Amino acid sequence: MALPYWTPHNLLPPGRHPADLADVYERLVFDAPHQNDREILFSALNSYLGVARRIMPTGRAWIGGELTARTPHPPRGLDVVLFPDEWGALKRLDDAGRSALYGLLTLRGVIVGQPAMYLDQVQPVGGMLDGFLCRPGDEEIWEEVWASGGRGIPEVIW
């Protein structure tokens, strides 16, 4: 399931590309400049997907953001959208499971109490990653946005 080679525009070819984490590492870290920066982002991705797998036993994740381009500057972050196979299982999560799920998601316009403060954005993994959850029926919308500009999408399935 190796990811395809970079295009002349330093992107993955258009479309979804099934991959495991070893494939993602090989193409997006090992076969790209700024390996140290990419290694840190890959570690964040690996941890993030480990938590996601505990919450949703089966599903998929699309990987996007600067990590998926072979650019002359270091990547600053990555994006992940989660596609659970069983949406009903997420609805049945207990409080601890729901809290863990929310911890995987990027939240915008958040108000927290004690002490009360407003945050523009809360991101998982120390802000290195933006995490999103695809609702049933919204896959085409995500694909349209993420594939814009001829960018390919690594897809990790578990």
133, pLDDT greater than 80: yes
pLDDT tens readout for residues 24-51: 999 999 999 999 999 999 999 999 999 9
Q: What is the pTM of this model?
A: 0.89
Residue 40 in tokens: 């840190």
- Rg value, the chain, Cα: 16
Residues 107 and 83: their CA atoms lie apart, in Å, by 17
Paired strand residues for 130? 79
> Residue 107 — φ and ψ, nearest 5°?
-115, 140
**What are the boundaries of each domain within the chain?**
15-157
121, pLDDT greater than 70: no
pLDDT (0 to 100) of residue 110: 62
Residues 135 and 125: their CA atoms lie apart, in Å, by 22
Strands 107-112 and 117-122: what pairing? Answer: antiparallel
Q: Who wins on pLDDT, 18 or 116?
A: 18
Q: If DSSP codes are grouped into helix, strand and coil, which group holds residue 108? A: strand
Give the residue-averaged pLDDT of 1-12.
Answer: 93
pLDDT (0 to 100) of residue 33: 97
Residues 37 and 68: their CA atoms lie apart, in Å, by 13
Q: How far is CA 154 from the centre of its chain?
A: 10
What secondary structure does DSSP assign to 119-140, as a single string? EEEE-SGGGTEEEEEPPTT-HH
Residues 31 and 70: their CA atoms lie apart, in Å, by 9
Q: Kindly report the average pLDDT of the chain as a whole number.
A: 91
